[in-house]
Each structure stands twice: as structure tokens, then as C-alpha cells.
């Protein structure tokens, strides 16, 4: 019997045989933490009493969640990160360079077959490149800083076979919102979810990153896509023989969907799995539209939004916030003329980073306000007041809604 | 700590209690101090919670407790408040790991939660792997933790374990 992709990777990383249900201790290829989680990890590492991290080239730090700092207290935590990075010789991506989950793949820290861990739940994003990547808390991350290894329970894999061809204006975000709605916010808890089928094969790595990013919104440990030509195109075109594909493995479940008639989807307040077609939400007025985050702020996301709003104006009373995922994305969008389009339409372009996604800065919602956002969570209080509401949707739906001032199906714009 | 836990101060919460509810993001960027975090624990679910909760209390959750962000500040805020254990129908994965790493017992059992009513007392014996509800005179088994995790919990968490034994719980002696 063959192995799932995750079993293969964990077998390799634990120098033994990793079967579903086993607890293995695996080598970690890269570990990341950001300004929301690194301070606790650095403190825990300090408490271990160790002087040097196991390998300073395999630890990456990011100041992206609340960046630039908006308070003195946070500035002190940022400084603590900078001095730890300096003292240990660790690479730190500072203010304005971008969101961790964009930079990790973009800057070449993720390769097929790697074990990548991160002190952030959306670390599951990197499965898009055939890596086993999962989110952890700060103590586990400190243990990796110390030893380069960590225990994992080898997860069962749920396989989603996505067949057909996506209709126009239906995006990878709509695919993953639909699957989260179908599976439920805890439907894949502790499991690995593998995405396959003709829709995934036809999807760019950008789209696969969006899909894997939200695997955790169904409770999954990681999301993963088998490697193919597109994986290696993203990695620079060189096929290095690092193929990670599961063959005749045993799956916890296999679900097949034909998504040829999928409509744009939206997750309504206040749960990620409260999903329906945009066409069924009725009239919902919005105060803020957000195009940003590790889910959807790559060049292809900015491009579709720019195409939709070119020559038009953002609706009166709506704040349309655009937060490119990284400096590279920002520059490419600038060169492509998208930034000019956004500004001419009356949108606000913020510096690369996490934006208002987790309720820290750059667009906190007041009580009673409503946002439509390309981010990944709409829990109570996520983007500000516990009396505000967040709808999660694709870049096209967000752009369409910014133009009309109400939640709008992009197919009609 | 895995001594016997007995409490009649149970705080009931529903399904899908996210880490955003346990500790809103804005506070985790202000401090790493458990006592300060504790003042805001659960505040978007129950603004009075940090005033009501006392040392040794138990939180009762529904399905998917601790879903969302990986912030270890969530279980840390509960530890800072003196919460002795969290019992829920099910847990989100990262919260579960984080709680154990901080020495906070997290116990998954649907039946116990379904049978509980406000006013009940709970008796938890992690070593024996049993929970008892004296009102019903009923004892429920707890799914055992792998031995190295039980030892870690006994030592009060990951960092405390390392300080005590000079190795990580999964590293061989």
C-alpha cells in the first residue's frame, strides 16, 4: 500500500516509517514566527537557558501583523525581536516587506517535501508547493529553535477531488469557501487535507496558496497539493526530481465535487463555515472592503480587482483598503498600473503586511460596521468591535462590492 | 499538573469559541504577561468573565474549542486567571497542543459535557484517566495521553519540563 504525501514527508523527516496515527519526531526544514507569536517563543527559548539556536539559517522572523507599530508596548516587542535576530544571526523581514505566508514561498524558503512549521495557524498555506507545513504555538516553536525537531502525530488525510472547470469570475477563494462550508469549521480537525482534480491541476500556485491557506478553517493540520509542472514553474522552472504525489494510499475520506457550475461564494458572519452563494445574501450594505492578507493579496488578486474597477469609482461612504502581500507584489502592481487604477478609483493602498485582518490596525471596525474582505476569518471581534460583521469573499466579489456599496456578485459588474 | 482536580465552579461556553474570543488580537500585541492577558480572557464572549473566574475553576466548552489563530496567549490568559482545566466536546488542534505545553489540562469528552448542568461538581483524575460527576454518580473514561505528554503536563508544561529534566519531553533520557 502506498503512502499519502504527508506520510511520505514525515517518513523522510523522521528517519523511520511514519504511518497514520504514529507519533514521530521530525526534522524541521524551516521555522517561522511573527510579531504576534515570536515574543513568547523568544521568551520561552530564553527560559530553556540555551545560548544559541539550533540553526540560525533555518529560522525566519517577520514583523507583519501590526507593522509599522502603532503603540509603544508593541514597539518594545518589535525591538525584542530585532535584537534576538541580530544576536542569533537570524533573518528578519521588517516593517513593510510583507506578510509571512507570502514571503516564505516567494523568497524561496519552501520546497516540495519540506517540513515547515510556523507560529501562525495559516502556516498550512505552503502545502500548495507540496510541503508539509503546519501552525504551532510559541512553546513548540521555541523547542524547534532549540533542537530543530518536533513531535507530530501523523495525520489521516481527507482527499478532495475537484473536477470540472471553474466558470468565469469564480476564483480559488470561492472553491475553498465552498469546501469550508461543506466540511464545517471542525470537519477536518487534526487531519491533513489534500486537494486534487482537474481544477487544482489547472490552478496557478497563487490560487493553490489561497486554497491551502484556508485548510485550517476546516480545522485541518495542513493542506497539501501534489507537485506538478506548475509547482516547478513557480519554483524557477527547474525540475529537481522532488516529486511528492500520493499513489494508492489509504485516505480517511475521498470527496469528489464537480465545480463547473460553482457560483461566487461568501462566508457570512460570524463563522467561516456559514457559506452561501453571493447571489443569495440579499442586500447588505458595507462600510469597508478589504483586499489583502495571506489569503488573497498576490499579484493575480490585485490584477483582477484592478481590472474590475478601472475607470470607475469606489461607492460613496465605502473605504476600499488594498494591502499588497509583499513589497515585490506591490512593485509588480505598480509597474502593471494597478496601483494607479486603485488610487484613481478612490481606494486606499496600505503598506504590505497583514492589514486589519486580525483587528490590530489599518481599518478596525466600529460597532455596527460591516466589511467584505478577502481575508480568512470572520469570527466575532476579529477585525475590531464585537458588534461589527465580516463577510469573506474573493477579490472579484470584494472589488464589485466596493463599487456598489453593497455585497455584489462580480458576475453582474 | 495532574493531581486530582475538583471544582464546582464551572464556566459554560458554547461551540466554536475562537482564540479571538479567548484573547482578542489587540491584547496579544501589548504584552506577554499572563496576569495582564488574564484581565481580558474571554471578554468578547463574556465581558464579566475575568471578574467571575477564580483560581481552580474549570471551563466547559462545546465543539471546536479554541479554533482559529495559533496564539499561545489564549491558553496563557486562562492559565494567568488560574483556570485549572478545560473540558470540551472537541478542541481545535493548535489550542490543544498549546494548552498542554503550558501545563493546562485539556480534556475532550462529549458525554460528560452533555450530562453537565450548572451547579454540578467535576472530579478529574488525569493519571487514572477518569472524570466523575458526583450528582449522577457516573464515571467517564478519558482518552489517555501519550506517556511523554502526560509527563510534560505533570511537570507543568514544556518549558518547566525542560528546566526540570534538561531535555525535551520527546527526547530520550
**What are the cell numbers at A83?**
535584537
Residues in chain B with CB shorter than 8 Å from the CB of A49 are 163
3-state class (DSSP) for residue A157: strand
Its pTM stands at 0.95
Residues A372, A289 share a domain: yes
Measure CA of the first residue to CA of the last residue in chain B; give whole Å.
Answer: 21
Percent of chain A with pLDDT strictly greater than 70: 100
Q: Which residue has the cell 504577561?
A: B33
Q: Are residues A211 and A76 in the same domain?
A: yes
pLDDT, one tens digit per residue, over A161-193 is 999 999 999 999 999 999 999 999 999 999 999
Beta bridge partners of B123: B6, B132
Residue A370's domain comprises 265-412
| B44 found inside a domain | yes
Given B21, B148, B171, which is nearest A380 (Cβ)?
Answer: B21
Average pLDDT over residues B2-24: 92
| pLDDT value of position A75 | 96
User: Is A190 in CB contact (< 8 Å) with chain B?
Assistant: yes
Cα-Cα-Cα-Cα torsion B66, A44, A89, A130, nearest 10 degrees, comes to -30
Strands, E assignment, A202-344 = 222-224, 253-258, 265-267, 275-277, 288-291, 319-322
Query: Given this model, what pLDDT does residue B1 score?
Result: 52
Query: In what helix (H) or strand (E) does residue A134 lie, and over which residues does it extend?
Result: strand A132-135
> Average of pLDDT values for B74-96?
96
**Does the pLDDT value for residue B145 go beyond 70?**
yes
- The DSSP line for A344-362 is HHT-EEPPSS-TTTTSSSS
Residues A67 and A138 in one domain: yes
Q: What is the mean pLDDT of residues A139-153?
A: 98
Query: Please, which pLDDT band fits residue A412 given cuts at 50, 70 and 90?
Result: confident
Last residue of a domain, one of A226, A258, A290: A258
Mean pLDDT value across residues A1-29: 95
Pick the more confident residue, B145 or A352: A352
DSSP-derived 3-state class of residue A133: strand
In 3D space, the residue among B60, B71, B62 whose CA is nearest the CA of residue B22 turns out to be B71
User: A299-318: per-residue pLDDT in tens?
Assistant: 999 999 999 999 999 999 99
Q: Is residue B48 part of a domain?
A: yes
User: Could you tell me if A313 and A394 lie in one domain?
Assistant: yes
Contacts of B164 (CB under 8 A, 6+ apart): B155
pLDDT of residue A247: 75
Would you state the pLDDT for residue A1?
73
Are A191 and A334 contained in the same domain?
Answer: no
Q: What is the CA radius of gyration of chain A?
A: 20
Number of domains, chain A: 2
CATH label of the domain that carries residue A216: 3.30.499.10
A28 & A110 share domain:
yes
Contact A219 B32 (CB under 8 A): no
Residue partners of B72: CB distance under 8 A and separation at least 6: A37, A40, A119, A137, A138, A139, B98, B101, B102
ipTM attached to this prediction: 0.95
A295 with A337, same domain: the answer is: yes
Across the range B49-75, mean pLDDT stands at 96
Q: Is the pLDDT of residue A227 over 70?
A: yes
Of B31, B64, B146, the CB nearest to A23: B146
Query: Taking 70 as the threshold, does the pLDDT of residue B2 lie above it?
Result: no
Contacts of residue A331, defined as CB under 8 A and 6 or more positions apart, other chains included, come to none
The verdict on a CB contact (< 8 Å) between B44 and A382 is no
User: Quick one: A34 and A110 in the same domain?
Assistant: yes
Q: How far apart are CA A312 and CA A404, in angstroms?
A: 10
pLDDT at A408 over 80: yes
For the domain that residue B13 is a member of, what is the CATH number?
3.20.19.10
**pLDDT the model gives residue A258:** 98
Helix (H) / strand (E) element for A5: namely: helix A5-14
pLDDT digits (tens, 9 = 90+) for A368-380: 999 999 999 999 9
pLDDT in tens, A53-100: 999 999 999 999 999 999 999 999 999 999 999 999 999 999 999 999
CA distance B36 to B26: 13
Domain count, chain B: 1
Contact A139 B148 (CB under 8 A): no
Residue B155 structural domain:
5-165
pLDDT at B31: 85
Amino acid at each position: 500500500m502506498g503512502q499519502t504525501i504527508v506520510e511520505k514527508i514525515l517518513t523522510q523527516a523522521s528517519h523511520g516509517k511514519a504511518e497514520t496515527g504514529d507519533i514521530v519526531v521530525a526534522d524541521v526544514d524551516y521555522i517561522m514566527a511573527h510579531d504576534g507569536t515570536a515574543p513568547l517563543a523568544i521568551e520561552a527559548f530564553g527560559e530553556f537557558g540555551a545560548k544559541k539556536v539550533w540553526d540560525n539559517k533555518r529560522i525566519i522572523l517577520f514583523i507583519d501583523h501590526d507593522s509599522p507599530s502603532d503603540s509603544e508596548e508593541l514597539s518594545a516587542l518589535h525591538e525584542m525581536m530585532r535584537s534576538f535576530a541580530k544576536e542569533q544571526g537570524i533573518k528578519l523581514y521588517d516593517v513593510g516587506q510583507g506578510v509571512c505566508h507570502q514571503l516564505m514561498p516567494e523568497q524561496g524558503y519552501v520546497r516540495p517535501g519540506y517540513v515547515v512549521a510556523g507560529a501562525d495557524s495559516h502556516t498550512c498555506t505552503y502545502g500548495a508547493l507540496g510541503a508539509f507545513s503546519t501552525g504551532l504555538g510559541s512553546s513548540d516553536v521555541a523547542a524547534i529553535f532549540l533542537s530543530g525537531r518536533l513531535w507530530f502525530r501523523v495525520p489521516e488525510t481527507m482527499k478532495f477531488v475537484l473536477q470540472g472547470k471553474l466558470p468565469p469570475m469564480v476564483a480559488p477563494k470561492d472553491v475553498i469557501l465552498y469546501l469550508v462550508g461543506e466540511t464545517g469549521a471542525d470537519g477536518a480537525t487534526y487531519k491533513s487535507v489534500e486537494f486534487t482534480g482537474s481544477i487544482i491541476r489547472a490552478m496557478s500556485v497563487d490560487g493553490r496558496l489561497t486554497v491551502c491557506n484556508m485548510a485550517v478553517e476546516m480545522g485541518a493540520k495542513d493542506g497539501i497539493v501534489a507537485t506538478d509542472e506548475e509547482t516547478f514553474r513557480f519554483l524557477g522552472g527547474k525540475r529537481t526530481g522532488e516529486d511528492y504525489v500520493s499513489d494508492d494510499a489509504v485516505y480517511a475520506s475521498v470527496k469528489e465535487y464537480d465545480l463547473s457550475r460553482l457560483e461566487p461564494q461568501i462566508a457570512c458572519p460570524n463563522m467561516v463555515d456559514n457559506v452561501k452563494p453571493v447571489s443569495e445574501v440579499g442586500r447588505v450594505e458595507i462600510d469597508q472592503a478589504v483586499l489583502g492578507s495571506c489569503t488573497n493579496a498576490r499579484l493575480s488578486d490585485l490584477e483582477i480587482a484592478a481590472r474590475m474597477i478601472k475607470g470607475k469609482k469606489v461607492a460613496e461612504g465605502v473605504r476600499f483598503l488594498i494591502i499588497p502581500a509583499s513589497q515585490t507584489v506591490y512593485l509588480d502592481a505598480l509597474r502593471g498600473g494597478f496601483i494607479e487604477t486603485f488610487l484613481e478609483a478612490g481606494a486606499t493602498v496600505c503598506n504590505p503586511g497583514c492589514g486589519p485582518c486580525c483587528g490590530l490596525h489599518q481599518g478596525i471596525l466600529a460597532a455596527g460596521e460591516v466589511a467584505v474582505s478577502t481575508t480568512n476569518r470572520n469570527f466575532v471581534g476579529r477585525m475590531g468591535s464585537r458588534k461589527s460583521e465580516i463577510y469573506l469573499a474573493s477579490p472579484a466579489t470584494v472589488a464589485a462590492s466596493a463599487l456598489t456599496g453593497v455585497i455584489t456578485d462580480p458576475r453582474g459588474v | 499538573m495532574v493531581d486530582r482536580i475538583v471544582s464546582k465552579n464551572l464556566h459554560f461556553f458554547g461551540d466554536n469559541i475562537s482564540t479571538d474570543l479567548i484573547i482578542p488580537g489587540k491584547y496579544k500585541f501589548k504584552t506577554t504577561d499572563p496576569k495582564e492577558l488574564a484581565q481580558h480572557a474571554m471578554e468578547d464572549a463574556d465581558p464579566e468573565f475575568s471578574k467571575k473566574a477564580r483560581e481552580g475553576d474549570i471551563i466547559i466548552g462545546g465543539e471546536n474549542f479554541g479554533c482559529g489563530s495559533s496564539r499561545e496567549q489564549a491558553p496563557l490568559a486562562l492559565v494567568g486567571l488560574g483556570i485549572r482545566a478545560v473540558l470540551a466536546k472537541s478542541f481545535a488542534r493548535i489550542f490543544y497542543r498549546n494548552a498542554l505545553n503550558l501545563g493546562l489540562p485539556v480534556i475532550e469528552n462529549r458525554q460528560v459535557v452533555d450530562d453537565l448542568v450548572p451547579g454540578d461538581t467535576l472530579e478529574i483524575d488525569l493519571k487514572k484517566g477518569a472524570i466523575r460527576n458526583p450528582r449522577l454518580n457516573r464515571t467517564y473514561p478519558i482518552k489517555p495521553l501519550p506517556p511523554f505528554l502526560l509527563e510534560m503536563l505533570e511537570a507543568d508544561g514544556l518549558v518547566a519540563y525542560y528546566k526540570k529534566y534538561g531535555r525535551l519531553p520527546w527526547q530520550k533520557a
